[in-house]
């Protein structure tokens, strides 16, 4: 199928997207060793969007840009710590300066931490909220006015977790990802009249390089067994759904939290 035909299917040609967490560690090839943010940036570019690739590591963010460039897509890397308000403002300003508009925001940052409330320091609790929740709020704070100014509204995707509805051994992660769901629905209500859509992807057992560092083969087998599809997801699965939600194909879909979990929420806890 010609590239132009694929791009026309999504209505993303000429649109501009910011993808945070689009650097990240490099896995063993792009089949399953790809982060959610990197895969999303690549698929958005394949559909004709111009992408601001946001990451803390200049080398890893540029790696994503290079992969996009190899396929003929357009992107640039922007180094930022999205827990910092000035950096979030800077991401949006750099994107507008480069491309003149903003249409899509994909918030991919997040991290887990073990322990219940009796084991959690206040400092760790607050740092997890800064990364998992504050970063998304701050990116939206500056992205939404830019989207409205662009004239065609915009679409936001926030990455949540199955642990928000199936808690398992990480209280602060469960609470912060629950907050991401609430933030998403509130964004949809507050800014729908401005043409802004917001949706959340609730990720289940998705295998990425970040996850790989903490998983034994035994745990991977348990994750696979916990799904109806009998396989783990990959960053590409996340990216396929994110691209749909950000595209014109989903223009009547907003305020939703959608499980991407191979059916794990139907039969067992997240792992």
Q: Which residues are catalytic?
A: 173
d(CA 54, CA 57): 9
Q: In the chain, what is the greatest distance between 2 CA atoms, to the nearest angstrom?
A: 56
112: tokens are 């887990």
User: Helices in the chain by DSSP H: which ranges?
Assistant: 3-10, 36-46, 58-70, 85-99, 122-129, 135-150, 171-191, 209-212, 217-225, 235-246, 264-267
Selection from 4, 18, 96, 101 nearest residue 48 by Cα: 4
For 173, residues 6+ apart whose C-beta sits below 8 A from its C-beta are 111, 112, 113, 128, 132, 161, 163
Q: What are phi and psi of 157, to 5 degrees?
A: -125, 125
d(CA 100, CA 23): 23
For 208, residues 6+ apart whose C-beta sits below 8 A from its C-beta are 24, 27, 33, 34, 35, 36, 234, 235
Q: Which residue, chain included where needed, has tokens 């295998």?
A: 207
d(CA 242, CA 159): 9
């Amino acid at each position: 199928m010609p590239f132009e035909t694929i791009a026309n299917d999504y209505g993303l040609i000429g649109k501009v997207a910011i993808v945070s967490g689009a650097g990240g560690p490099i896995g063993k090839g792009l089949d399953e060793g790809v982060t959610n943010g990197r895969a999303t940036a690549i698929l958005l570019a394949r559909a004709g969007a111009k992408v601001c690739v946001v990451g803390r590591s200049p080398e890893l963010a540029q790696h994503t840009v290079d992969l996009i460039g190899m396929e003929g897509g357009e992107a640039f890397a922007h180094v930022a710590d999205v827990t910092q308000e000035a950096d979030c403002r800077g991401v949006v300003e750099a994107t507008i300066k480069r491309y003149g508009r903003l249409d899509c925001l994909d918030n991919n940052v997040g991290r887990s931490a073990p322990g219940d409330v009796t084991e959690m320091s206040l400092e760790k609790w607050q740092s997890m909220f800064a990364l998992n929740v504050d970063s998304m709020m701050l990116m939206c704070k500056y992205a939404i006015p830019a989207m409205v100014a662009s004239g065609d509204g915009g679409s936001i995707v926030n990455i949540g977790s199955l642990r928000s509805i199936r808690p398992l051994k990480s209280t602060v992660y469960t609470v912060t990802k629950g907050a991401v769901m609430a933030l998403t629905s509130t964004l949809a209500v507050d800014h729908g009249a401005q043409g802004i859509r917001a949706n959340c992807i609730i990720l289940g057992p998705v295998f990425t390089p970040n996850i790989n560092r903490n998983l034994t083969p035994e745990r991977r087998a348990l994750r696979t067994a916990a799904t109806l599809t009998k396989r783990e997801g990959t960053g590409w699965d996340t990216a396929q759904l994110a691209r749909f939600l950000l595209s014109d194909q989903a223009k009547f879909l907003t305020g939703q939290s959608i499980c991407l979990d191979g059916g794990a929420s139907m039969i067992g806890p997240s792992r």
